[in-house]
Amino acid sequence: MSSSRGPNPQIVVLDTGGQYCHLITRKIRELGVYCEIRPSEVDSALLKGVQGIVISGGPSSVYEVGSPQVDPAIFDLGAAVLGICYGQQLMAWHLGGTVSPGERGEYGLAWVDIGGQAPIFEGISGRFSIWMSHRDTVTAAPPGFQVVASTETCPIASIADESRRLYGVQFHPEVVHTEHGMEILSNFLFGVAGCVRDWSPRAQAARIEEEIRQVAAGRNIFFFVSGGVDSTVAFSLCLKALGPDKVRALYVDTGLMREGETDFVKDMFESRGKEIFAAEHAEDRFLGALHGITDPEQKRHIIGECFVAVQEAILESGHYLDQNWILGQGTIYPDTIESGGTAKADLIKTHHNRVAGIQKLIAENRIVEPLHLLYKDEVRELGREMGLPEALLERHPFPGPGLAIRCLCSDTEEPVERLDEGWLAPVKSVGVQGDSRSYRPVLVLEEGLADTGIHERAGHLINRTQGINRVVALAASHTPISGWKTTASWIDAVRLERLRRADGIVRRLCLESGFEQHVWQFPVVLIPLGSGMWPDSVVLRPIHSVDGMTARAVPIPPDLLARLCRELLEVEGVNAVLIDLTHKPPGTIEWE
């Protein structure tokens, strides 16, 4: 569903393929300034009249053939320009500076020192925390530029040419974990670019409802709902826009759900009218299709295609396939961004709502995605505006493919390997490093979990250890790490029930202790790593985030962790309990 056009954009964000491109746009709108995204190579003539331009980060190297570029004439338009990460490198490259590969990448939390004066740092001084995700660095500033900030591994962390209103930062001010990030963006918008406030990100419901009516064009909408925040808010918007006679909620039990999830969804939707809800039990179909499959991308594709096949069967039986019906989805920005949804973005992982079957519906103009411009926090705010209950809005995000992407598989039997810093486990997880997808083994730390600085240590280990993108720490186990190995395994009823029980234990204890309120999401992951009669281990992944684009690993209180370990080790087949220490980046929130 395309968005209705807002006012003329004061700020244009040039997309060079960074996973945070849309996040920059949302943060600017959150500050009250309307902006839009354009391809990085857009002709500068089409940007005349804008107050400012932001060049996003991206996964490429500016010196490589075919890397995303900008029209150099944008620097002579008279508009203020801010280059972020790759954007700073691109600005330096075009204006006579030097960009080189760094000695090592810098991902996640870092500290920057302000060493000069620049309007974008107005009211900010000294040292503060920032979020990094880069490999290359600017090694010589262009003529006319001053170096105004640095980090321990990046001497040129910010450049400024105040006379031309050109600025660059190597870090990401748009992410929530960069201290003073919003101040930096605000300084650029109002102090440098001279913008005025013309946009309110909160007043979205009326606009979206009108878009729904335009896209529906008199047709009915059916939703395959999960019971999560996104699909429920999207469904509610359609229900409000079109009325109960024009909207239906269809729920598919894939067999990959959490304990009690199906009953929860059924009760929630039927309370709004029994006629709007129907459920389909398809557990055998999904588990049968996943038998023997170990590759995570293949798993996602299979789940997506199974969804489409089940959908088609349901729709045919309910006459939903005629031209009087279209499909509604709760797709939000991160779903499309991490799937390579921007013009030049690197594929981080494939989402089930972007597989071929769904793309076909999109091509036929038979899909409505009311939330496709919003992030998770905005969806919750929109739900509050609509009066939806907090019990729903504060539910932790849960992936569409369900427990399948938290039940890791292996096609080999391979032992762990001893390294200087810990144990290299032959279990691979998805990560994002320098805006690019990585799929690498995991480093297991045998001790140090009680150290308050262990999360920062994990970040340093990832930056300096080749071939890993995630660090976990041992909390408890039946057997010594030296004897651990992977086993050939896939998703079956036994392992799925093992994970479902573990997940249920974690949810119950976190709710009882109040810890659930201190995290944004708490994935529980089953990995095929163990010994003898205990072939699997459980990884706990509590994180704090705002929108899912970045995340910080959250320490578990010792008393709660002790209870978790005690109960989880009682689950049949569970060898160990591990704690994921990895921020995002470099590790994605989900392991697959």
Amino acid at 375: Y
Residue 5: what residue type? R
Q: How many CB atoms lie within 10 A of CB 385?
A: 14
Task: Pick the closest to residue 26 from 547, 554, 425 (CA basis).
Answer: 547
Each residue's pLDDT, cut to its tens digit, for the chain (592 residues) gives 433 444 589 999 999 987 788 889 989 988 999 888 899 999 999 999 999 999 999 888 998 899 999 999 999 999 999 999 999 999 999 999 999 987 666 677 889 999 988 999 999 999 999 988 777 899 999 999 999 999 988 999 999 999 999 999 999 999 888 999 999 999 999 999 999 998 875 678 888 999 999 999 999 999 989 888 999 999 999 999 999 999 999 999 999 999 999 998 998 888 887 889 999 999 999 999 999 999 998 998 999 889 888 887 887 787 777 888 999 999 886 675 444 445 455 544 455 555 555 667 777 888 999 998 777 778 888 999 898 988 888 888 888 889 999 999 999 999 999 999 999 999 999 887 665 778 999 999 998 888 888 988 998 898 888 889 999 999 999 999 999 999 999 999 999 999 999 999 999 999 999 999 999 999 999 999 999 999 999 999 999 987 777 789 999 999 999 999 999 999 999 999 999 999 988 889 999 9
Residue 563 parent element (H or E): helix 558-568
Question: Under a CB-based contact definition with an 8 Å cutoff, are residues 468 and 441 in contact?
Answer: yes
Q: Which is the catalytic residue, given 30, 134, 154, 174?
A: 174
Q: Are the C-beta atoms of residues 574 and 532 closer than 8 Å to each other?
A: no
Tell if the pTM clears 0.85, that is, is over it: no
Q: Please tell me what DSSP assigns to residue 157.
A: S
Q: Give the Cα separation of 387 and 545 in Å (integer).
A: 23
Q: For residues 554 and 545, what is the distance between their CA atoms, to the nearest angstrom?
A: 10
Question: What sign results for the dihedral spanned by CA atoms 229, 390, 253, 216?
Answer: negative
- Whether the Cβ atoms of residue 61 and residue 80 lie closer than 8 Å to each other: no
Distance, in Å, from the CA atom of 14 to the CA atom of 18, rounded to the nearest integer, reads 10
Between the alpha carbon of residue 207 and those of residues 4, 119, 140, 202, 370, the distances in Å are 8, 35, 47, 11, 10
The full DSSP string for 447-480 is: S-TT-TTHHHHHHHHHHHSTT--EEEEEEEESS-
Output the DSSP codes for 274-297: GGGEEEEE-HHHHHHHHTT---HH
Q: Are 111 and 471 in contact (CB under 8 A)?
A: no
- Cα of 482 vs its chain's centroid, Å: 34
Q: How many residues are present in the chain?
A: 592
Round to whole Å and give the CA distance between 205 and 374: 12
Residue type, 337: I
Alpha helices in 291-429 (DSSP H): 296-317, 333-337, 356-363, 376-385, 390-393
377 close to 465: Cβ distance less than 8 angstroms: no
Domains and CATH numbers, the chain: 11-192 (3.40.50.880), 205-402 (3.40.50.620), 407-580 (3.30.300.10)
Q: Do residues 304 and 349 touch, judged by C-beta distance below 8 A?
A: no
Q: Give the integer Cα–Cα distance in Å for 303 and 351.
A: 10
Q: How many CB atoms lie within 10 A of CB 412?
A: 11
Three-state DSSP class for residue 536: strand
Q: Which residue in the list 22, 134, 172, 583 is annotated as catalytic?
A: 172
Per-residue pLDDT tens digits for 402-456? 999 999 999 999 999 999 999 999 999 988 766 577 899 999 999 888 888 898 8
Cβ proximity of 568 and 502 under 8 Å: yes
Q: Locate tokens 């029980």: which residue?
A: 501
Helices (H) and strands (E) in the chain, counts: 15, 25
Q: Round to the nearest angstrom and report the end-to-end CA distance of the chain.
A: 28
Q: Spot the catalytic one: 21, 30, 35, 85.
A: 85
Distances (CA, A) of 227 to 74, 265, 279, 363: 46, 5, 12, 27
Residue partners of 363: CB distance under 8 A and separation at least 6: none
Q: Taking the mean position of all CA atoms in its chain, how far away is CA 391?
A: 23
| 421 included as an active-site residue | no
pLDDT in tens, 226-239: 888 999 999 999 99
Q: What is the pLDDT of residue 358?
A: 60
**Residue 202, φ and ψ in degrees, nearest 5:** -85, -35
Cβ 226 vs Cβ 307: under 8 Å? no
What are the CB-based long-range contacts (under 8 Å, 24+) for 313-317?
Answer: 314/250, 314/252, 314/278, 314/280, 315/222
Residue carrying the six token digits 């705002």: 546
Distance from chain centroid for Cα 28: 19
Question: 3-state class of 373 per DSSP?
Answer: coil
> 174 an active-site residue?
yes
Asked if 154 is an active-site residue, the reply is: no
CA atoms of 418 and 105, how far apart (whole Å): 24
